[in-house]
Chains A and B, each alone.
Chain A
Amino acid sequence: MGCDLALKAIEGLGDEKPGRARWMRLRRHLERCPGCRASFVRMKAVRDAVERMPRVPAPPGFTEKVLELLPAGTPAEPGVRERTSGRRGLLWIGGAAVFGVALAVGLAVARRLAGQSSMLGKRDDKLSVLGSA
């Protein structure tokens, strides 16, 4: 095992022990290589130091303060927010549809009225022509 593989194995020691065969190869390398041996000792020491760092507890009164900060009211059930926003969307669509229908009806009525008035205009012209004849 060369130094590059040994260093990789040493880095992995931070998580788990290597398999037996790999561990034996690493041990043989460490017996011969002072540099890697020093890295091994340091990695082990660092891992141990990190894992044994004291767990810092939350300060006294932490939970009480959290409860004070909570907003009033019940947090929404899942789906409620979606249903509410869905309803709003439907209202918008409905409103737009009603507006569109009203617009179409209005246009149709206006066209019909415009058509009728132009027909009346033509009849008057004809009558006046007949009258003069």
Chain B
Amino acid sequence: MGMPTERLTRDGREDARAVKRCRQGDVDAFSELVLKYQDGVFNVVYRIVGDREEARDIAQEAFVRAFEGIGTFNEKMPFRAWIYRIGTNAAIDHLRRAGRGREVPMDEVFDAASGREPSAPTAAVPENASVSNETSALVHRALLELPDNYRAAVVLHHLEGLGYREVGEVLGVPRNTAKTWAYRARGTLCRSLEGVI
């Protein structure tokens, strides 16, 4: 499960070379990997846990764990899938320790009923964003209400652009299971956003 079945891409080969250097004690090489994947990992963790500060701590811890376990990393696997797996698992474990169905912090949600705007934006939305803050906040909240594994599948596929095979590698499930989770997640989102979007 999760074992690579394809040759690495050029990007993957570059990462594999950086990993080799890390194993020889080259911290700069690890720093390059962190810089390359910090946004992606943080984004995934944030969309799973829903809180920026928690996401920051969890994502940083994920990279530390990756460094500690880099000796056991299978270089034939894309590093991206591996670090996303560590981050995703850490985020889901965090939610389970905290209890499922934790409330979304109100200051991160646009309350459509009251018309209150969030005190801090849910994301640093650039001026040319094609989705309004309001819609983004609504979708973000709806995502947080999904089961953890469904949410992870949607975030990895639709937000991070991973194919289902890679989503399966990250989540430790077959490709078709990852695809089914994403399907169900979209169906649930459609129902929960009915009348809103």
- Please tell me the number of chain A residues within 8 Å of chain B, measured between CB atoms: 36
Count of inter-chain pairs, beta carbons less than 8 A:
139
Using a CB-CB cutoff of 8 Å, which residues 161-197 of chain B contact chain A? 179, 182-183, 186-187, 189-190, 193-194, 197
B71 touches A75 (CB 8 A): yes
Contact between B197 and A58 (Cβ–Cβ < 8 Å)? no
Measured CA separation A44–B122 after assembly (Å): 23
Q: Is B123 an interface residue (CB 8 A)?
A: yes
| Chain B interface helix/strand/loop/mixed | helix
Contact between chains at A46 and B135 (CB < 8 Å): no
Check: A130 CB closer than 8 A to any chain B CB: no
- Asked if residues A55 and B27 are in contact (CB atoms below 8 Å), the reply is no
Q: Which of B27, B38, B63, B131 contacts A49 (CB under 8 A)?
A: B131
* Chain B interface residue bracket vs A: 35 or more
Question: Would you call A88 an interface residue if the criterion is a C-beta within 8 Å of the partner chain's C-beta atoms?
Answer: no
The interface residues of chain A lying within 8 Å CB-to-CB of B35 are 63
Contacting residues, chain A, for B130 (C-beta < 8 A): 52
* 15 A–B contacts from the bound complex (CB under 8 Å): A46-B193, A49-B136, A49-B139, A50-B139, A50-B158, A53-B136, A54-B131, A55-B39, A55-B43, A58-B39, A58-B59, A62-B42, A67-B34, A78-B23, A78-B71
